[in-house]
Structure 1
Amino acid sequence: MGENSGRLLGAADIRRIAAEAGVTPTKKFGQNFVIDPGTVRRIVREAGVTAGDHVLEVGPGLGSLTLAILETGASVVAVEIDPPVAVRLPKTVAEFMPDAAGRLAVVNRDALTLTPANLPQLGDGERFVLVANLPYNVATPIILTLLERFAGLESFLVMVQKEVADRLAATPGSKIYGTPSVKLAWYGHAERAGLVGRNVFWPAPNVDSALVSFTRYPDGHLPLADELGVGRELVFELIDAAFMQRRKTLHAALKKIVPAEAYDLSGIDPTRRGETLTIDEFVRLAAAVRRARD
């Protein structure tokens, strides 16, 4: 075990720490704490975290996953919105894995407000991975916000509600393919990485959970966008408009943004619906819009 000697949290540890810290899991913060060491080890293994890696964890809660990440020899920046939980985390690491305490930094803030400026450990282009049991109600905005603001975020393995996992990894034409699916595809490739049972949480949620793994494109976004000279803003504007009225044709949903000749230029049929378009097609359409406007 060496420098990473220590142990992970079991159900009794979690309940004791919560009681000592005066923490009751809240719906407001979407808190469901993992009480099974096997599950957090599996997440870290799926994420491919090894010694020396820099890991961002959002919503560390009482520290189950934090300890499993630290066990590998990696460094962790844990971002926790709930003040008593944030204060307690370093004490838990000091108790269960004292040799790893120097590799943990805790930031008490809302992950949606994070910028490189207030995350100095990861903000200067440092390459890092996100490994987290994300709060269910804000999982998608957190992922998309971090990818937008942190160029160094190169991959993630997150546990989310199964329905959210399906949506993030969905492909064109399926009922659950939507704005998050396409926007995530702008940055890289996402796929489902397995289910997680309800019994590994306290309190047990009334929904199933699943893992999503994601690998970012080397340049940070879809290579085709650079080839065609198209930026994220216009592409995302088209995506938002197309899915706002997903039953409408592109011609109807995008009439305020897309000139008619852009469909000819891009070779995309205006009678299709936005839910049938791949990210490549949205990029091609955006490039055609730019050409038509010039």
Structure 2
Amino acid sequence: MKDIATPNRTKEILETYGFSFKKSLGQNFLIDVNILKNIVYHAGLTKRTGVIEVGPGIGALTEQIAREAGQVVSFEIDGRLLPVLEDTLSPYPNVKIIHQDILEADLNAVMEQYFTDVDEVVVVANLPYYVTTPIILKFLMSKVPIERLVIMMQKEVADRITASPGTKAYGSLSIAIQYYMDAEVAMIVPKTVFMPQPNVESAVIRLSRKTEAPVEVIDEDFLFEVSRGSFVQRRKTILNNLQTSLPNGKEKKDTILEAFEKTGIDPGRRGETLTIEEFGRLANALYPDFHRPQK
């Protein structure tokens, strides 16, 4: 069986269906089988693994996943690709294509319908770069039991996700993801293995679920609100940023300072220097005075 992900086979499929790329959907198809096999290797799939994929394109990565996994559910937003996928993935009865925006999907329903007979569920995807962050956060915030995510994305975003405190790339995105997952860059991917070639460098990251959170917080949403607010202006101190971002922060400067004193954190530091643990302690101290009650 010929692999989908070769330049000639990809061109042949595109010509057969008269397919043209939509820039608005961030469509860049992988045309290197070795890269795809490497992505699947990093995902650690077995026949007892269920996989969620986002943006299968013409099925190049899907095919490699289907050969290793037990069940694959792939979300494709572009209706023009449905007949292509029906053709290219016809040899793989363990693949289900859902024509839906993953951001609108009910992940709990998907888990119940397709993954009751697997030992674990993993996300493997070459994500559309323009919605990488919202998609990752949806998987994490939905609390569905996903063990790992192995995802191709823009290298700049991968650097932010995996960044350590004290680096320029470290920010609220690093904190939101590393609160739930251990994050590492698995491989750097050259532009030349895509059709069409993107204008940016790409990377594959591997996110593995932590056995326990790095810090115990009263309210996770409030932790992320505090961390986001601390990076409103990176060059300003965390005190200045929180005065701006927290409700009535300027009027409650003394209350914010009390939280810093209680946690032993210097209010003159910048957000990029604080660890997740420090943000957790600070959020817990600020919570009684600044959290917004759920409506």
Task: Tell me if TM exceeds 0.5.
Answer: yes
Indicate the larger mover: 251-260 or 274-283. Answer: 251-260
Separation in structure 2 between the aligned mates of residue 217 and residue 280 of structure 1, nearest angstrom: 14
> Which residue among 179, 199, 204 is the counterpart of 2:172?
179
Map Cα deviations across residues 191-234 of structure 1 (whole Å, 9 max, x no partner).
11111111111111122111111111235xx2522xxx422111
* In 1, Cα distance between equivalents of 2:153 and 2:64: 18
Contact 1:262–1:292 (CA under 8 A) maintained in structure 2: no
Query: Is the Cα contact below 8 Å between 2:189 and 2:201 reproduced in 1?
Result: yes
Residues 53 and 125, structure 2, Cα contact 8 Å, conserved in 1: yes
Query: Which has the higher mean CA deviation after the structures are superposed, 133-142 or 144-153?
Result: 144-153
Per the alignment, residue 225 of structure 2 pairs with 237
Alignment partner for residue 240 of structure 2, among 252, 264, 283?
252
Aligned with residue 89 of structure 1, among 63, 70, 85? 85
For residues 244-272 of structure 1, what are the alpha-carbon distances to aligned partners after superposition, in whole Å with 9 as ceiling and x for unaligned?
22221111111235622111111111111
Which amino acid is the alignment partner of residue 113 of structure 1? E
Asked if 1:121 is matched to 2:113, the reply is yes
Q: CA offset at residue 124 of structure 1? A: 7.3
Report the CA distance between 1:68 and its aligned residue: 0.4
Q: 1:123 to 1:286 in 2, by over 3 A?
A: farther
Q: Alignment length, in residue pairs?
A: 279
SS of the aligned residue for 1:259 comes to: helix
Corresponding position of 1:289: 286
Q: How do residues 29-48 of structure 1 correspond to structure 2 at under 5 angstroms? A: 29-48=25-44
Residue 87 to residue 146, structure 1, CA distance change in 2 (3 Å): farther
Correspondence list, 1:108-257, <5 A: 108-116=99-107, 119=110, 120-121=112-113, 127-218=120-211, 222-225=213-216, 229-255=217-243, 256=246
Give distance in 2, aligned partners of 1:123 and 1:277: 39
Mean Cα deviation higher: 19-28 or 241-250 = 19-28
Displacement over 6 Å in runs of 4+:
123-126
Identity, % of aligned positions: 39
Distance 2:108 2:161 in 1: 28
Match of 1:243, SS state, is coil
Task: Please give the TM-score of this superposition, normalised by the length of structure 2.
Answer: 0.88
* Structure 2 residue runs without a partner (length 5+): 248-254
Kept in 2: contact 1:116–1:150 (CA 8 A) = no
Residue type of the partner of 2:65? I
| 1:115–1:203 distance in 2 versus 1, CA, 3 Å | same
For the Cα contact (< 8 Å) 2:181–2:209, is it kept in 1?
A: yes
2:152–2:203 CA contact under 8 A, matched in 1: yes
- Note the aligned Cα RMSD (angstroms): 2.1
132-141 vs 114-123, which moves further: 114-123
Cα distance, 1:287 vs. partner? 1.3
Q: CA deviation at 1:125?
A: 11
1:8 aligned to which of 3, 20, 23: 3
The whole-number CA distance in structure 2 between the counterparts of 1:44 and 1:139 is 19
Amino acid at match of 1:93: L
Cα distance in 2 for residues equivalent to 1:50 and 1:244 = 43
Contact 1:116/1:123 (<8 A) preserved: no
Q: 1:60 to 1:44 in 2, by over 3 A?
A: same
Matched, 1:266 2:257: no
Q: CA deviation at 1:188?
A: 1.4
Matches within 5 A, 1:58-69: 58-69=54-65
The answer to whether the Cα contact below 8 Å between 2:222 and 2:287 also exists between their aligned partners in 1 is no
Larger mean CA deviation between 188-197 and 83-92 belongs to 83-92
Q: Distance in 2 between matches of 1:243 and 1:285?
A: 14
Superposed CA deviations along residues 170-208 of structure 1, whole A, max 9, x for unmatched, are 111111112211111111110111111111111111221
Instruction: Calculate the TM-score normalised by the size of structure 1.
Output: 0.88
